Amino acid sequence: MPEELLIRNVRPAGGGSADVLVRDGRIAAIGAIEASAGAAELDGGGRLLLPGLVEAHTHLDKTFWGMSWRKHGAGPRLIDRIENERRNRRALDLDPDRQSGRLVAQLLTMGTTHVRSHVDVDTEVGLAGIEGVMAMRDRLKAIIEVEIVAFPQSGLLIRPGTLELLDRALALGTEVVGGLDPCAVDRDPKGHLDAIFGLAGKYGRPIDVHLHERGEMGAFSLDLILERVRALGMQGKVTVSHGFCLGMPDAGHARRLIEGLAKERVAVMTTASASSPVPPVKECIEAGVVVCAGSDGIRDSWNPYGRGDMLERAMLIGLRNNFRRDEEIELALDVCTYGGAKAMGLQGYGLSIGCVADLLLVPGETLAEAVVSRSADRTVIKRGRIVARPGALTEPVA
């Protein structure tokens, strides 16, 4: 007998009420559906049905989630935060397996079914973070999908030995090659980018580069990235995270960069930071750029904020981009669903028949209202199985 779940009376993507039949983890039918003998049933109560939310950029390995509150004392600069974190990590007892497990449980409760996490690799922590998050990923793979980026948080070339560690992380099965501010942190943009594109070529893996660099410096680094994507045929395999330079004052220059991203099919990840220049979401999407979103650090030594809620992230995208019309707010939600799925190359994502049944039920008259209200009443389904009911997972995770 196939395993079946019949979801009664939901409104897929905000449309009219329908029943949705899930069979063997995939959407098998949508419409008015007769009860079948073996199927479990879930009453949707007229709630919206969304595809699972996609957290396309976080740092699971170093969150304080579930630990006691830790006073934030880092200085204001990027390098202050990097140094502060590395200095404190030893004293913090941040077990990456345990901490990443705590945070994915929260993400899942809020409706996220797919996560891309950057995980620190450096000459102090070595591969401990990668191994810890991999252990969590394997342990919880039935309820949430986690993709790992090997991330040189403390710099790549400025910390000899880090490149070899990234290489080993990829050999272990890390899915994505990470990079970080080729000019500002690594002081050698050509060297940095040649190194990470080299690793990507060696292992046949995609790339996700943190690019906080602003203005003309960031634009220079981005140009160097685009050159390599073009030369190496890496179209559709590269994400630029943050991309603050796309919010530079020179709108004409930003426009040319956005066109370059669209041409080389480089995705952009935004947190919609309220205190930094940010990629203009609507302009990027209209130009054909894939835009995804993430929380970035959640309750860690970088960032005290965050509840792991990608509906809240959609709201923050809306607020940052001055989205007020319904179709604009829906665009912000798209970034947190389909945009993330495209950037991560997820197969079978969505609400069509045949798609994997990774689903979120949430109240709301419309998609825009779901973003605005951010109700805590969330039911989450992973491959056809109910994994979270309002406020809690259906089964405890260790």
Nearest residue to 169 via CA among 203, 124, 139, 194: 203
Q: What is the 3-state secondary structure (H, E, C) of 142-204?
A: CCCEEEEEEECCCCCCCCCCHHHHHHHHHHHCCCEEEEECCCCCCCCHHHHHHHHHHHHHHHC
Strand-strand pairing, 145-151 and 176-180: parallel
Shortest spacing between CB 244 and a second copy, in angstroms: 13
Range in contact with a second copy (rule: CB under 8 A) among 48-56, 160-168, 212-220, 295-303: 295-303
Shortest spacing between CB 369 and a second copy, in angstroms: 5
The residue among 277 and 384 lying less far from a second copy, judged by its C-beta, is 277
Shortest spacing between CB 69 and a second copy, in angstroms: 4
The residue among 95 and 369 lying less far from a second copy, judged by its C-beta, is 369
- Write the CA distances from 354 to 24, 27, 113, 227, integer angstroms: 10, 5, 17, 38
Yes or no: say if 119 and 62 are a contact pair by the CB < 8 Å rule. no
**Footprint of a second copy on residues 352-371 (CB under 8 A)?**
364-366, 368-369
Quote the radius of gyration of the chain (alpha carbons, Å).
Answer: 21
> Residue 355: helix, strand or coil by DSSP?
coil
Angle between helices 189-203 and 215-232 (to 10 degrees): 30
| Secondary structure element (H or E) that encloses residue 24, with its range | none
Range in contact with a second copy (rule: CB under 8 A) among 19-27, 185-193, 271-279, 346-354: 271-279
The residue among 329 and 356 lying less far from a second copy, judged by its C-beta, is 329
Per rule CB under 8 A, is residue 303 in the interface with a second copy?
Answer: yes
The dihedral through the CA atoms of 269, 273, 279, 281 has a sign that is positive
The residue among 122 and 296 lying less far from a second copy, judged by its C-beta, is 296
| DSSP for 199-252, written as a single string | HHHHHT--EEEEE---HHHHHHHHHHHHHHHHHHT-TTSEEEEE-GGGG-S-HH
Of 9, 17, 88, 373, the one binding a second copy by CB under 8 A: 373
The residue among 47 and 114 lying less far from a second copy, judged by its C-beta, is 47
Of 133, 219, 315, 362, the one binding a second copy by CB under 8 A: 315
The residue among 219 and 329 lying less far from a second copy, judged by its C-beta, is 329
Shortest spacing between CB 266 and a second copy, in angstroms: 25
The dihedral through the CA atoms of 375, 376, 382, 386 has a sign that is negative
Per rule CB under 8 A, is residue 84 in the interface with a second copy?
Answer: no
Per rule CB under 8 A, is residue 69 in the interface with a second copy?
Answer: yes
Q: CA 332: distance to chain centroid?
A: 14
The residue among 38 and 71 lying less far from a second copy, judged by its C-beta, is 71
The residue among 106 and 174 lying less far from a second copy, judged by its C-beta, is 106
Phi, psi (degrees; rounded to nearest 5) at 162 = -70, -40
Of 325, 352, 392, 394, the one binding a second copy by CB under 8 A: 325
Give the binding-site size for a second copy (rule: CB under 8 A).
39
Per rule CB under 8 A, is residue 372 in the interface with a second copy?
Answer: yes
The residue among 71 and 93 lying less far from a second copy, judged by its C-beta, is 71
CA distance 303 to 85: 11
Shortest spacing between CB 47 and a second copy, in angstroms: 14
The residue among 123 and 366 lying less far from a second copy, judged by its C-beta, is 366
Shortest spacing between CB 28 and a second copy, in angstroms: 31
Of 16, 38, 73, 396, the one binding a second copy by CB under 8 A: 73
Per rule CB under 8 A, is residue 88 in the interface with a second copy?
Answer: no
Nearest residue to 297 via CA among 128, 126, 84: 84
At position 145, the amino acid (one-letter code) is E
Per rule CB under 8 A, is residue 92 in the interface with a second copy?
Answer: no
Q: In the structure encoding, which two tokens stand for residue 85, read together?
A: 């974190």
Binding site for a second copy (CB under 8 A): 68-69, 71-74, 76, 272-276, 299, 302-307, 315-316, 318-322, 324-326, 329, 364-366, 368-369, 372-374, 376
